[in-house]
Structure 1
Amino acid sequence: MKHKITVGSRDSALAMWQTRWVVEQLERLNPEIDFEIVTMKTKGDKMLDVALAKIGDKGLFTKELEVAMQQKEIDFAVHSLKDMPTALPKGLALGAVCKRDNPGDALISKDGRKLDQLPKGARIGTSSLRRCAQLLNYRPDFKLEALRGNLNTRMKKLVSERLDAVVLAAAGITRMGWEDMIAEIIPFQVCLPAVGQGAITVECREDDQDIVELLKGIEHHHTRVATDAERSLLRYLEGGCQVPIGAHGEVNNNKLFLTAVVANLDGTQVIRAQGEADVSRAKELGIEVAEKLLAMGGKKILEQVRAGE
């Protein structure tokens, strides 16, 4: 094993927190190795004036890091799993999926009000079609406002844009030390999270055996299994930023449970399905629940969303 390893990261405050956290875990297990962090901006970091759904999701927050890996400029890269496309570039793999933090969505409101306490017609900021669709299904009176930028920027827009609330991933808020600002973790019955939300992953070259072996030390089996099911479902539905799809996998007593949702853009149609399986059948379970969603009317919703209706 070489004694210096170069780690790639986006340069946002949250991305750097996540990368430092990964490096700290690895340093504790491998004190003889020197880790160097290299930062870069991705396409998603630069195009802040365009809605995520219009840009597409093919490596929006990962491609530049992946190219650096393929060119051997860095040894591995740290990502939020929810940013990872379900199909990775040839030669790259998820070397580790770390223990998941709270996968839910957090409501941050200007006066600490919960979702049910927000006024009629409340203006809520979010960049996610998934959140918009499910929130509108719950409260059709809400006015959803597009919200882009890093976590700090989006938090500031709560005040600068005079919004009633913003909805962000709970894990990111907690990692930044802002949990006291959370008015409510939105229940899964109201809003299922994005695939992989709350989990940090490390991407590496699949043929770099030293790095593959190193990353086994921070792998969390239950998180890997749960998110494998979610990603399998997303891959089968061919969903991304442009399609309102939510999912949550969880392991209990060595059984894997998966709940998922497909919605149309205005939230007037929301279809939910769930299933369970042995932990060894994570990817199969994802496909089974995806097929249930399609059979229950999800196929028509997805066709309409993709057609821009």
Structure 2
Amino acid sequence: MMMRLGTRKSALAMAQAEIVCRQLIKCRPDVEIEVVGITTRGDRIQDVPLAAIGGKGLFLKEIEEALLDGRIDFAVHSMKDVPAQLARPFQIAAILERGNPLDAFVSTRFEAIDQLPHGARIGTSSPRRKAILRGRYPHVEILDLRGNINTRLTHLAEGNFDAIILAAVGLERLELDDQIRHLMAAEVMLPSAGQGAIGIECLGDADRVVESLQPLNHGPTRSCVDTERLISAQMGGSCHLPLGAFATINEQTLLDLKAVIGDPESGHLVFSHATGSLDRGSELASEVVEDLLCQGADEILQRVNAIE
């Protein structure tokens, strides 16, 4: 059976498509896969922060058009780049076992973020990272940084920044993990919803495709990522949202859910944490959102939405 896999053309996207191909062929040796590279608007516009031009959906529009017109059967995404709520008729058919969910501190001069001196220039365009950096490291200067991983590393090497923050899993999948100076613990830099996980999108009525992809779906990862994304959705799902949401399954096989929302301008951070059985993901997400709002997250949301 021939299946056409759609993906962005970046090196990381292609590497993730290759991971999916290998796993799918291993589970379904009867399947042949054609990889179809697609350039999205988010790939074409590299000099403006995502939040200013439409957010994460910029990486999906052209790919979803290819799904609709039948040019591809399914698409591969980094789950952290997928909007919290997909439009109909699309669905996430499978989520692979999660890779490294943490952020990486990358620098040519400093071994760890705690070593950064006053006025050090740190690059990121993520509202989440900006808010946490502002709250935990108010002495550093935060500058916008976009582009693919190699472009960002080049900016660092050229001295435009003293350090940059990247998703560790992207560096690892491109075999660039030697660039990582320090992995930032979740307690310091809580990951984005879905960070480290690869998701597969298809049409809602593509039963044959969904059935073929089910061997790739990793139940524990799916439970965690779905719960994280519920928090994002309930907080509005905006690309401007300075939100971290991270779920794990602890030794007691309970879902352990943490979230943070912060003000990228003031650095004010609000945290919440809930634990419960795996079948209570939706309830836990609602509990965490309610707790965040009770602590003043609604004021942060108002300021963020005013920027939009």
Fold equivalence (TM over 0.5): yes
Q: TM-score under structure 1 normalisation?
A: 0.96
1:276 aligns with: 275
CA distance in 1, matches of 2:186, 2:89: 36
Contact 1:127 1:146 in 2 (8 A): yes
Q: 2:175 is aligned with what amino acid?
A: G
Deviations 1:236-289 (A, max 9, x none): 001332121111111123211110001111243100001012111212211210
Q: TM-score under structure 2 normalisation?
A: 0.96
CA distance in 1, matches of 2:86, 2:307: 27
Q: Structure 1 residue 112: deviation in Å?
A: 4.4
Contact 1:107 1:185 in 2 (8 A): yes
2:47 aligns with: 49
Contact 2:110 2:116 in 1 (8 A): no
Decide which of 12, 15, 27 is 1:17's aligned counterpart: 15
Identity %: 41
1:163 aligns with: 161
1:127 aligns with: 125
CA distance in 2, matches of 1:55, 1:236: 22
1:307 aligns with: 306
Contact 2:50 2:56 in 1 (8 A): no
SS in 2 for 1:177: coil
**Residues 22-171 of structure 1 aligned to structure 2 (within 5 Å):** 22-57=20-55, 59-171=57-169
Cα RMSD between the aligned structures? 1.3
CA distance in 1, matches of 2:86, 2:240: 19
Deviations 1:45-64 (A, max 9, x none): 11112111212326211111
Q: 1:206 is aligned with what amino acid?
A: G
Contact 1:135 1:190 in 2 (8 A): no
Residues 244 and 74 of structure 1, relative CA distance in 2, 3 Å threshold:
same
CA distance in 1, matches of 2:54, 2:107: 29
CA distance in 2, matches of 1:40, 1:291: 39
Deviations 1:127-167 (A, max 9, x none): 21110110111111111111111111111110224311110
Q: Structure 1 residue 65: deviation in Å?
A: 0.7
Deviations 1:144-195 (A, max 9, x none): 1111111111111102243111100011011111112111111222211111
Q: 1:169 is aligned with what amino acid?
A: A
Unaligned runs of 5+ in 1: none
Unaligned runs of 5+ in 2: none
CA distance in 2, matches of 1:293, 1:15: 33
SS in 1 for 2:274: strand
Contact 2:84 2:237 in 1 (8 A): no
SS in 2 for 1:307: helix
Deviations 1:62-100 (A, max 9, x none): 111111101111000000001111111212110101111
